[in-house]
């Protein structure tokens, strides 16, 4: 069991890693995902807008916003779904990643902050998303509680993540081979930081299963509305409502 100092050091190391790869992050992701993550993100946005079923939203907040792509999807899919969103806010502890986001998407609002310390008032956000970032949050229970705090009643949390698969199928084992052997080499070559991309499969192996993530959401005051895994269970979408 990690003590508080160990948790802080672990979180700081993860943030430093993302600072170091920020400049090549988008290029590496495009090559490694072959663009397939685009459909996953669109599905997440469209499903959330459908479940929330409101045409005027005050705030969508994207946690671990990185270089800002999910925020852009929220904006573009809002237009497609005829939803008016007043403000889209990005929150990330990595200055390097947010610097890239600000350059790409200057019209959004950004905060340098951890997922456990979201700089928003209670019950102000309509939707909160975290895409491929929840496994990088060391104090996950505290973060889920913070997500609940900033969301309005019936507000939605949208999670896209690489979940751990305890009993992988043949296709799942192919996925694991790609994630463990191929992806780190490609990402490491592009970023010149092999350690950062070796962290990815390791972080998945240490992360929660889909069932565990659903249970954690339930324990944090959410009702799971929708769960779907994509592309050989590479990625999973979970949408939950604040009770």
Inside any domain, residue 112: yes
Average pLDDT of span 105-120: 96
Question: Could you tell me how many residues make up the chain?
Answer: 243
Q: Tokens 């959004």 identify what position?
A: 108
Question: What CATH number does residue 103 fall under?
Answer: 3.40.50.150
Largest CA distance in the chain: 47
Inside any domain, residue 140: yes
Q: What is the extent of the structural domain holding 156?
A: 34-164+208-242
- Contact by Cβ (8 Å): 128, 155: yes
Q: 146 is written with which tokens?
A: 């913070």
Q: Helices H, strands E: what count in the chain?
A: 9, 7
Mean pLDDT, the chain, whole residue set: 85
Inside any domain, residue 200: no
Q: 160 is written with which tokens?
A: 């896209």
Give the ranges where the chain is alpha helix by DSSP (H). Answer: 4-33, 37-52, 69-80, 95-104, 140-150, 170-177, 183-191, 194-205, 210-219
pLDDT of residue 105: 96
Q: How many domains does the chain have?
A: 1
- This prediction has a pTM of 0.86
Inside any domain, residue 184: no
Inside any domain, residue 133: yes
Inside any domain, residue 42: yes
- List residues bridging with 240 in a β-sheet: 157, 224
Distance (Å, rounded) from C-alpha 125 to C-alpha 148? 10
pLDDT at 32 over 60: no
More confident residue, 87 or 171: 87
What Å distances lie between residue 142 and 1, 24, 148, CA to CA? Answer: 16, 30, 10
pLDDT at 184 over 80: no
Inside any domain, residue 218: yes
CA angle centred on 218, ends 5 and 228, rounded to 5°? 105
Distance (Å, rounded) from C-alpha 75 to C-alpha 51? 17
CA angle centred on 105, ends 104 and 106, rounded to 5°? 110
pLDDT digits (tens, 9 = 90+) for 125-170: 999 999 988 988 889 999 999 999 999 999 999 999 887 776 666 6
pLDDT of residue 27: 61
> What phi-psi label fits residue 68: left (phi over 0), alpha (psi between -120 and 50 degrees) or beta?
left
Identify the burial level of 103 via C-beta atoms within 10 angstroms of its C-beta, where 0-12 means exposed, 13-18 middle and 19 or more buried: exposed
Inside any domain, residue 137: yes
């Amino acid at each position: 069991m990690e003590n508080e100092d160990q948790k802080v050091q672990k979180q700081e190391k993860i943030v430093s890693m993302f600072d170091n790869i920020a400049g090549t992050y988008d290029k590496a992701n495009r090559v490694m995902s072959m663009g397939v993550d685009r459909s996953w993100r669109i599905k997440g946005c469209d499903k959330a807008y459908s479940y929330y079923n409101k045409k005027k939203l005050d705030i969508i907040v994207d946690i671990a916003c990185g270089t800002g792509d999910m925020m852009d999807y929220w904006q573009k899919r809002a237009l497609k779904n005829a939803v008016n969103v007043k403000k889209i806010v990005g929150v990330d502890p990595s200055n390097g990643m947010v610097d890239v986001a600000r350059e790409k998407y200057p019209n959004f609002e950004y905060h340098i902050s951890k997922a456990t310390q979201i700089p928003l008032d209670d019950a102000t956000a309509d939707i909160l998303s975290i895409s491929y970032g929840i496994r990088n949050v060391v104090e996950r229970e505290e973060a889920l509680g913070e997500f609940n705090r900033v969301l309005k009643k019936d507000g939605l949390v949208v999670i896209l993540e690489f979940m751990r698969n305890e009993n992988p199928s043949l296709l799942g084992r192919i996925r694991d081979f790609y994630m463990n052997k191929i992806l780190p080499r490609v990402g490491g070559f592009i970023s010149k930081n092999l350690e950062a991309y070796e962290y990815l499969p390791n972080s998945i192996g240490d992360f929660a299963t889909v069932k565990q993530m659903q249970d954690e959401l339930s324990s944090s005051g959410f009702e799971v509305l929708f769960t779907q895994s994509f592309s050989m269970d590479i990625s999973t979408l979970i949408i939950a409502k604040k009770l």
